[in-house]
Amino acid sequence: MLNKKAIKLLIFIPVILVLVSGCSRYEPRSIDITKGEYYEEEEYQKLSKKDREAYCAKLAGELESLTRRSEDAQAQFEKNKQDIRTMTQELRDAERDYSRLTTELDELNQQLQELEQLPKEWVLQYGECLWNLAGYEEIYSDPLKWTRIWRANWELIEDPDWVLAGWTLKIPRNWPRRHQVQQDEWLAKIAGYWEVYDNYRKWPLLYEANKDGIRDPDLIFPDQDLVIPRDESLSE
């Protein structure tokens, strides 16, 4: 039969075990999974069932979040690759355009240099007339354009069939922007000059640009100074 001392010891053993168990309960360290902080294997083994479940739930949530971010990053990566391919093609096209425009510019500069070297005046020699003068390569390379030389030298040439050796004639090289009306000229005739529009149907362009001084498009007078518009949008 147990004595009183043994009975008291039996009574206090459960209490002692509870106290000892409570004092030795493992307290896990605080971690942040989103920052890449995880428990070591030894720490994980010391976790309670409840803490393990919570930890695993957080890991699953973080894995799901990382998976979504990875998928989004992959989609963005594919989009960036397509954008790079598109920009690369655009760059190649731009390089080709630049090369073509550079070539055209060089050709235009060459033509400009050649044009600047062409004569702007010509002293008539014996046997020359406006027809063969216009046909010279350094003039217009076309004898049919002799009329422009005549129109540029109204004050000197009264009769285009009668020119004299020694006369100095102006050789126009640009597209005229003004025209002084001569006898027996009308708007359609002027528009038909090759150096104006080379198309008599474009006479309304002359009328619209000069209608402040023209009451009737069928009636213009010698010595009227007409503006020749060169706006491409109007001449189309």
Q: Which domain holds residue 228?
A: 177-236
- The answer on pLDDT for 234 being more than 60 is no
- The answer on pLDDT for 16 being more than 50 is no
d(CA 44, CA 39) in angstroms, rounded, equals 6
Q: Are residues 111 and 122 in the same domain?
A: no
Q: Are residues 122 and 112 in the same domain?
A: no
Q: Are residues 222 and 190 in the same domain?
A: yes
CATH assignment of the domain containing 129: 3.10.350.10
The domain tally of the chain equals 3
Task: Kindly give the pairing relationship between strand 168-170 and strand 178-180.
Answer: unpaired
Q: Please give the average per-residue pLDDT across 198-223, as a whole number.
A: 93
- The answer on pLDDT for 22 being more than 80 is no
pLDDT category, 232, cuts 50, 70, 90?
low
d(CA 176, CA 131) in angstroms, rounded, equals 21
The pLDDT of residue 25: 66
pTM: 0.51
The answer as to whether 63 is a domain residue is: no
Looking at per-residue pLDDT, the higher value among 21 and 154 belongs to 154
Q: Please give the average per-residue pLDDT across 121-146, as a whole number.
A: 94
